[in-house]
Structure 1
Amino acid sequence: MEAHFFEVDLTWSKERKGVISSPDVHFTATDGGKIEVATPPPFPKGMPGIWSPEHLFTAAVSSCLMTTFLAIAENFKLEFESFSCVAKGKLEQVEGKYLMTEVALVPELTILKEEDRDKALKVLTKAEAACLISNSVKAKISMEAIIRIAGSL
Structure 2
Amino acid sequence: MYKQKYKVMANKHEYQVDLTWKEGRKGEVCSPELSDTIQTATPPDFPQGIPNIWSPEHFLVAAVESCLMTTFLAIAENSKLDFISFKSKAIGKLDKVEGKFQMTEIILKPVLEISDENNAERAKRIIEKSEKACLISNSIKTKIILEPEIVIASVGV
Q: TM-score range by the shorter chain?
A: 0.7 to 0.9
Greater mean alpha carbon deviation, residues 32-41 or residues 49-58:
32-41
The RMSD of aligned alpha carbons is: 1.3
Cα deviation 1:58-115 (Å, max 9, x = unaligned)? 0000000000000000111000000011000111111110101110000000011101
TM-score normalised by length of structure 2? 0.75
1:103-122 equivalences in 2 (<5 Å): 103-122=106-125
TM-score normalised by length of structure 1? 0.77
Whether 2:68 is the aligned partner of 1:40: answer: no
* Residue matched to 1:124: 127
1:30-69 equivalences in 2 (<5 Å): 33-69=36-72
Tell me, which stretches of 5 or more residues in structure 2 are unaligned?
Answer: 1-34
Tell me, which stretches of 5 or more residues in structure 1 are unaligned?
Answer: 1-31
Which ranges of 4 or more aligned residues in structure 1 deviate by more than 2 Å? none
Paired-residue identity, % = 57
1:3-152 equivalences in 2 (<5 Å): 33-151=36-154
Once residues 67 and 119 of structure 1 are traced to their aligned partners in structure 2, the CA distance between those partners, rounded to angstroms, is 18
Larger radius of gyration: 2
1:33 CA displacement: 2.4
* Residue matched to 2:32: none
2:39 aligns to what SS in structure 1?
A: coil
Query: How many pairs align?
Result: 122
